[in-house]
């Protein structure tokens, strides 16, 4: 609701006028999307609202409709696409003003064009850039997209880029726009008035978590020679296959429900005894015997196959954690092995 800024009313007053104009049935549906605090604020505003001229109600409804339309266009094709369509629909000046408000309130991020490209296309654009430039771009895009690009970079560049992402703090809007200009993919004014925080250890962890296991291992090993404290901090926030012992009993049992026997056999090939024992302790005796027998019959397997199976299980663990279905002890937290 913060994008409603015209007609001389405050944001809350205009939101109240909008709800009144929409009628009780539509307003009731909107109320279901609000927090308790927001409902309380809107109820007070509506209760205190005096008579409003029909023309004012009409202006607020129009503004709201245009904002919704603009937001949909931004989500569909990005800022420039939205601006082009709105120029034709409501005029250049109103489109300019509306996009300015929305990009500020929606916190539209830089490199919007990059997130709409596939990893191969983006790699072709940035692979010859300096590691600092690549780090900046990867910090803004989706972690899975960034991981796919990282996997294709040379090992020397990989570690350099990830180190720069992890140590990145605040980046000025001017520098961001300069990078966009260099890539010949300028974006519209993002409404950033100070500095945008980008990168950092959390972004690094997101990217590494989405990378394949061999890339993840290589980067962390390479970084160990550069900054051991940084690696320790990254590892404290990551979840590797060996960290499966950090799951409590209900969590590991929930994870095993989604793991096929073939993946489990491959994943357990060559793991440390304590990891294998922990997994076996959380399955039935019959399943234990079956998996152990299949491991013995399997014979030698490719390391890549083992890593892929482990990464598949780790990916499922992370999804379950995001969904709140399992618990993982991280960092200095006490390990919960149940």
Read off the pTM.
Answer: 0.39
- Residue 61 burial (10 A CB sphere; 0-12, 13-18, 19+): middle
Q: What's residue 76's pLDDT?
A: 65
| Alpha carbon distance 79, 71 (integer Å) | 9
Q: What's residue 183's pLDDT?
A: 67
Q: Look at residue 38 and tell me whether its pLDDT is greater than 60.
A: yes
Q: Which residues contact 60 (CB under 8 A, 6 or more apart)?
A: 4, 7, 9, 14, 17, 18, 21
Bigger pLDDT: 80 or 270?
A: 270
Bigger pLDDT: 52 or 281?
A: 281
Q: What's residue 1's pLDDT?
A: 37
What domains sit in the chain, N to C, each tagged with a CATH number?
A: 11-105 (no CATH), 113-237 (1.10.220.30), 241-322 (1.10.220.30)
Q: Mean pLDDT over residues 43-64, rounded?
A: 77
Smallest CA-to-CA distance from 217 within 277, 113, 303 is with 303
Q: What's residue 253's pLDDT?
A: 92
Q: What's residue 203's pLDDT?
A: 73
Percent with pLDDT over 90 in the chain? 13
- Residue 181 burial (10 A CB sphere; 0-12, 13-18, 19+): exposed
Q: Look at residue 233 and tell me whether its pLDDT is greater than 90.
A: no
| Alpha carbon distance 230, 160 (integer Å) | 13
> Could you read off the pLDDT of 282-337 as tens digits, one per residue?
999 999 999 999 988 888 888 888 888 888 898 888 788 878 888 776 544 444 33
Least confident of 43-52, 161-170, 182-191: 182-191
Q: Mean pLDDT over residues 214-238, rounded?
A: 80
Asked if 63 contacts 9 with a C-beta cutoff of 8 angstroms, the reply is: no
- Per-residue pLDDT band for 23 (boundaries 50, 70, 90) equals confident
> How far is residue 289 from each of residues 38, 272, 280, 294, measured CA to CA in Å?
57, 18, 9, 9
- What is the pLDDT of the chain when averaged over all its residues? 76
């Amino acid at each position: 609701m913060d994008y409603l800024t015209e007609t001389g009313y405050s944001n809350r007053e205009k939101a109240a006028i909008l709800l009144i104009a929409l009628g009780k049935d539509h307003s009731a549906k909107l109320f279901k999307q609000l927090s308790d605090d927001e409902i309380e604020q809107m109820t007070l505003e509506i209760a205190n609202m005096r008579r409003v001229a029909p023309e004012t109600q009409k202006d607020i409804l129009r503004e709201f409709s245009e904002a919704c339309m603009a937001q949909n266009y931004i989500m569909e094709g990005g800022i420039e696409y939205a601006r082009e369509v709105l120029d034709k629909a409501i005029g250049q000046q109103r489109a300019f003003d509306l996009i300015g408000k929305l990009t500020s309130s929606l916190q539209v991020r830089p490199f919007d064009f990059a997130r709409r490209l596939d990893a191969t296309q983006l790699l072709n654009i940035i692979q010859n850039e300096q590691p600092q430039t690549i780090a900046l771009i990867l910090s803004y895009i989706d972690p899975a997209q960034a991981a796919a690009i990282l996997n294709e970079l040379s090992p020397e560049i990989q570690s350099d880029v990830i180190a720069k992402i992890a140590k990145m703090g605040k980046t000025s809007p001017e520098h961001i726009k300069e990078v966009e200009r260099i890539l010949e993919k300028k974006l519209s004014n993002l409404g950033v008035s100070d500095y945008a925080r980008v990168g950092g250890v959390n972004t690094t962890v997101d990217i590494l978590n989405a990378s394949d296991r061999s890339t993840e291992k290589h980067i962390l090993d390479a970084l160990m020679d550069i900054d051991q404290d940084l690696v320790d901090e990254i590892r404290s926030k990551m979840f590797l296959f060996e960290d499966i012992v950090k799951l409590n009993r209900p969590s590991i049992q929930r994870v095993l429900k989604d793991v096929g026997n073939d993946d489990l056999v491959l994943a357990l090939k060559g793991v440390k005894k304590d990891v294998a024992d922990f997994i076996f302790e959380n399955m039935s005796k019959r399943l234990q015997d079956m998996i152990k027998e299949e491991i013995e019959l399997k014979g030698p397997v490719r390391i890549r196959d083992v890593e892929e199976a482990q990464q598949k299980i780790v990916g499922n663990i992370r999804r379950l954690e995001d969904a709140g279905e399992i618990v993982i002890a991280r960092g200095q937290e006490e390990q919960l092995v149940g």
